[in-house]
Structure 1
Amino acid sequence: MWTLKEIADICDGQIHGGDRSVEFFVTDSRRIHNPQRTIFVALKGERHDGHLFIENAKNSGVASFIIDDSKFIKGESSFILVKNSLDALQAIASRHRHTFNYPVIGITGSYGKTVVKDLLTRSLKSLYHIVKSPRSYNSQTGVPLSILDMGPEHDLGIFEAGISKPGEMAKLARIINPNIGIFTTIGQAHDEGFADRQEKILEKALLFENSEVLIFSRDNEDIHSNLTRLYGHTDKLIADWGYVNDSFLHIIEKTESRSTNSITYCTGGKIHSIEIPNGSEYDFENYMFLITTLHILGVDQKEIGELLDKSNQPAVHLEFTRTNYGKGLLVDIGPIDGPSIRTGIEQLKSLVEHQGITVILSGHEGSPVANDRRIREIAQACLDSQVVYIGARPKALSESIPNLRSFLSNEEFDESIHSILDPQKAILLVGEWSPSIIALLSRLQEKSHQTTVTINMTSLVHNLNVYRALIPEETKVMAMVKAFAYGSGEAEVAKLLQYHKVDYLTVAYPDEGVTLRNGGVDMPIMVMNSSIPEYEVLVENELEPELYSLLTLEAFIDHCEQNSLKGYPVHVKFDTGMHRLGIDPTDIDRVIQIIKNTESIKLVSVFSHLFSSDSADLSLSISQINRFEKLKASLEKEFDDVLFHILNSSGISRLPQATYDLVRLGIGLYGYSGDIEFRKNLLPVLSWNTVISQVKKVKAGETVGYGGAFVLKEDKMIAVIPVGYADGLSRKLGNGVGSVYIDGSKCSFIGNICMDMSMVDVTDISSLPGDKVELIGDNISLEEMAASMGTIPYEVLTSIPPRIKRHYIFNG
């Protein structure tokens, strides 16, 4: 607990109003769970000003604020006025960090930070009470908020640190001050913020200035050469791992089998052998960081093997799925604590419209929820929620949550499930991995097709922010969520974009807009193609039409006038060269006359569409922009407050001179760009997986699939997978053209793709029914599948039908 006076002393602030006691620091007015004990920190960013949400926080019951703009000091609340709110938050977190003496692990690198953090957490949870970064909280704001979760009940901290430009890491280093430092890898992420790769490595390495131990891959020459030059002459322990003989942990041999890697290594003069799961090279590197860290922490070899088994328990980071028992189910397999519950509740608010939340805590023997501070945090996080506990509950938990419903087992809970779970509420399931929580998850999940599409919402938000960084702060963003949000699920994606304050959404047809309205999306939505009979539906659902011809313009005005509407928002499209929908520029005088002669509509925006912004030659796009400039000049003389826009995803990254008032972000949001170099900044959002249904041996001379055209020249092992052209898998991929990824190998399709099934050649691998099959993911990219199909990524994404269930995850 902090007093405002203590906080003001730390950050050299001035108190206006009475002194109060607070416990929680928030920077987002939507993430307030215990307002009486919360202090709201108003941060100013390039695209937002937290001071504008002070009233929202007050309305939630918050009465304490840290601000750096004195004009917001008003009312009976208490304010701490500082020079810079972010600096103040960081100073408070730094002071808080230095009140604890237990070891802290700091992790940085371009990739793998969250994965390594989670491997360490799952491995060490039986040995330590761990405090860690929630999700990927590794930014200038996320790090101090994570550090402020440190408490006396913990005895190990694990925190991530991410940067995007020089000057940032020194600030994070003062806050985290890690005893043990891990540098995972270096890649292209945020390259644009640095002069070269070396500058980025040296900037990240500042995290370890006061560290006692430094862990990295000896085989990564860029990292090794720079870190040894920077810290090799100091008294830090350089705990590198790799195939080089003088490594702290020297890998002698790695032997791969179907499911495991057997590793023989030497460290501390002793040779050890251990097995880890077989996966990609990135997976192998992440496990080596884990094993090296376990040795640094003094874990003996026998226990390392046992801990690795625990690390292999599947992690679920805020995965959202459908349920028959409520509005949606969000799952977080991990510690039961206040930060986890608060984060889950926040994400549910961003994903689905609901009338409350039921928090289900799945405990088991050994679950570390029995200390007072943690129980108090859990109770405060659940303050406005229905709470169910399954397992042998701590007595103090019942005392802290008076209305707690508790059950000793899943079976006991199942007897009352229909009376407890309100179908109008969303469900948050939290708990450490155990067979009981997996059984409970299976009970709550809506049963679905074995083939699933996973949407990484963290990656989607990352891509949004990549594009936002390219445009001026005042430029608005219109996000395209047509065609089932490019295969990602329109309602879930739209709710997330609304939460992240995108200015407009766009759909192709009115029924898509109606779906979003029914899903609780209340922000402006533009409809690209609506017919005259659908105008009533548009107006009933407050959808804004794109008017692309004189006929649609006049017809919609007639509809508005007949219904006595005034100032209904519309968007007018001109054809500057694509020759699809759009008004001919020669009709601009007529357009101006029609709009000026009515009060029934309000011209919100005027736009056109670039048809070759991803081509090597931008001359056609520049010609379109020049035509649009003339239209813009004429319209600006006649109308005020009109938004002009022409840039699509490729245009945003390649034609910054035409940013104007708004940009339209489409496929770039979902991780693809025709600009190959720029694509390196984006993260893939969608992955597509299925499982093997059957494996069979087919002899030479036999045929496979419809038509009998594919004749085997030799004996083959064939795997049947439950996905076909009705699931969006193109028939062009059949007969050896396309591949899937199974057990570390690419396996070609064999025979024709069927409606609901297809066959793949697994002769060279050992495979069994139930084995995972990757269609799009880490090993087969969206671009690769599109190339095999002879099409573009757009078609691949939008061809996967809604019958394939979407699962939504939040992780780094």
Structure 2
Amino acid sequence: MKIHFPNSIVEIDLSAITKNLVSIKEKSGGKKILAVVKCDAYSHDAVRVSAHIEEFVDYLAVANVDEAIELRLRGIKKPILVLGVPTYKNAAAFQTHNLTATVSHQTHFSILMDGTSYQINFDTGMGRLGFKPEQAQEVRQLAVANQRLSCSGIYSHYATADDPGSEFVQTQHRRFKKVLEHFKEVPLIHMSNTGAVANYPKIDHFDMIRTGLGMLGYNPGETRHDWLKPVLTWKSTIAQVRPIKKGEVVSYSSTWTCPEDGFMATLPVGYGDGIPRSLSNKLQVRFGNKMYPQVGNVTMDYIMVYLGQDQVRTDQHGILMGKDSWTAHDWADHGKTNVHEIMTNIQKRVYREFIGSS
């Protein structure tokens, strides 16, 4: 859908993504890079991001076959790993579109068509998908028996690598190393994400690093890394500025009462665009060099910002996220969620504008 008159814009700095990738690669000691671009690259536009970073990465990864097909149809050539499970319905698509499947259950070996590339997923502690470590010998036998397929790698997921000091990271690492004793000839091994690279530099990161949120400038845990630069700025132009008197209430349920006479700015952006309602009366919005409080409950299409005695021009942008305003970390902290959810909630009706492209 082409938007001619957007109410809000997210500006995505493609050059910042490149810089983040360079930093992650340096921190990893020069390992290969797998860029995770699932969920439309966390709402950053998977096609545009993938096209920009294709020359800088070795692999791409998506959540499902449909996401992978979209990238192929838009001209992306790099190997694409589908993290989700293969089914009889989508098995042919792996061959048709040259995709790499994930095998995480015994039945997947029989589902996939001859010649399909796949990687084996072991569950070393995430508790989501994958073979258990104690199945390693059985899985190896299945892989040997199914040489009609092409095994291109093996991987696992850390559950607690986003912050330093987790003994469970060491536990999972030991489990995975034991699994690998059965797969010495596998060409590509990966387990570490951005958090593992940043917080556990002495651990073996194997052959490749997976990064999704990291290349977009964020560590998903509580730890902040100043060498990662957020690439997204969200802004919206004021719809209206009007006076408000002391004692007047604002928005549904009247959760905020004006403390003194002043001015109120209304911005045409709300939870229908991706601002969590849980940020009601918490969000801060920047106009110029000053931060102002969002007040009243966030509505589907609007938020209200109390300006006090200041009068702000109606043609001025309010910065909701980025550019010396709140970061997605701040949104997540105050909304009691994580950065992943904040990013993936940004809706399609918010216009994407790209800068810094090569």
CA distance in 2, matches of 1:509, 1:751: 39
1:773 maps to a residue whose letter is G
Q: Which letter does structure 2 place at the counterpart of 1:479?
A: A
Give the structure 1 partner of residue 263 of structure 2: 717
Superposed counterparts of 1:254-293, under 5 Å: none
Runs of 5+ unmatched residues, structure 2: none
Deviations along 1:536-556, whole A, 9 cap, x unmatched?
333322221112222333332
CA distance in 1, matches of 2:227, 2:29: 19
Return the alpha-carbon distance in structure 2 between the equivalents of residues 460 and 476 of structure 1: 16
* CA drift at 1:811: 7.9
Structure with the larger RCO, 1 or 2 (CA within 8 Å, 6+ apart):
2
Which residue type is aligned with residue 647 of structure 1? Answer: S
Match of 1:378 in 2: none
Specify the alignment match of 1:519 in structure 2: 74
Residues 201-236 of structure 1 show CA distances to partners (whole Å, capped at 9, x for unaligned) of xxxxxxxxxxxxxxxxxxxxxxxxxxxxxxxxxxxx
The corresponding residue for 2:41 is 485
Among the aligned pairs, what percent are the same residue? 27
d(CA) in 2 for partners of 1:646 and 1:492?
Answer: 26
Aligned to 2:180: 632
Give 3-state SS (helix, strand or coil) of 1:595's partner.
helix
Taking the TM superposition and a 5 Å limit, the aligned residue runs for 1:690-705 are 690-705=236-251
The TM-score with structure 1 as length reference comes to 0.42
One-letter code aligned to 1:542:
N
- Using the TM superposition, give the Cα deviation of residue 510 of structure 1 relative to its aligned residue in structure 2, in angstroms: 1.2
> Residue in 2 aligned with 1:465?
22
Residues 604 and 747 of structure 1: CA distance in aligned 2, closer, same or farther (over 3 Å): same
Shift of 1:495: 0.6
AA matched with 2:23: V
| Counterpart-to-counterpart distance in 2, 1:696 and 1:448 | 23
Query: Alignment partner for residue 649 of structure 1, among 194, 208, 221?
Result: 194
Q: 40, 61, 75: which is aligned to 1:506?
A: 61
The letter of the residue matching 2:197 is I
8 A contact 1:653–1:678 mirrored in 2: no
CA–CA separation in structure 2 for the residues paired with 1:503 and 1:610 = 21
8 Å CA contact 2:85–2:104 kept in 1: the answer is no
Q: Which amino acid aligns with 1:694?
A: Q
Equivalent residue for 1:659, pick from 201, 205, 209: 205
Q: Is the 8 A contact 2:236 2:320 kept in 1?
A: yes
CA RMSD of aligned residues (A): 2.1
Alignment match of 1:729 (pick from 257, 267, 275): 275
Equivalent residues in 2 for 1:217-366, closer than 5 Å: none
Is the alpha carbon distance of 1:681 and 1:531 closer, same or farther for their aligned partners in structure 2, counting shifts above 3 Å?
Answer: same
Partner of 1:688: 234
TM-fit CA distance, 1:531: 4.5
Kindly provide the CA deviation profile for residues 743-792 of structure 1, in whole angstroms up to 9, marking residues without a partner as x: 32111111110111111111232112221100012222222222221222
Structure 1 residue 676: deviation in Å? Answer: 7.6
Aligned length: 355
With over 3 angstroms needed to count, the CA separation of the structure-2 counterparts of 1:674 and 1:798, relative to structure 1, is closer
SS of equivalent residue, structure 1 residue 634: coil
Aligned residue for 1:614?
162
- What's the CA shift for 1:530? 3.5
1:464 offset after TM fit, Å? Answer: 0.5
Q: Shift in Å at residue 460 of structure 1?
A: 0.7
Output the TM-score relative to the length of structure 2.
0.93
Richer in helix (by share): 1
Letter of the 2:10 partner, please give it: V
The separation in 2 between residues aligned to 1:702 and 1:779, in whole angstroms, is 31
Report what 1:603 is aligned to: 151
**One of 783, 786, 805 as aligned partner of 2:329:** 783
Aligned partners of 1:678 and 1:786: how far apart in 2? 13
Q: How does 1:351-430 map to 2 (within 5 A)?
A: none
Alignment correspondent of 2:319: 774
Aligned partner of residue 353 in structure 2, secondary structure: strand
Shift of 1:677: 7.5
CA deviations on 1:522-570 (whole Å, 9 max, x unpaired) are 11101111441222333322221112222333332xxx1xxxx23x210
Mapped contact 1:743–1:767 kept (Cα < 8 A): no
Give structure 1 stretches of 5+ with no counterpart. Answer: 1-321, 325-445
Separation in 2 of the partners of 1:747 and 1:519?
A: 41
Structure 1, residues 656-681: CA drift from partner, whole Å, max 9, x if none? 43211111112111111257887111
Measure how far apart 1:713 and its partner are: 4.2
What is the 5 A alignment of 1:545-624?
A: 545-556=101-112, 560=113, 565-566=114-115, 568-624=116-172
1:119-130 matches, within 5 Å, as none
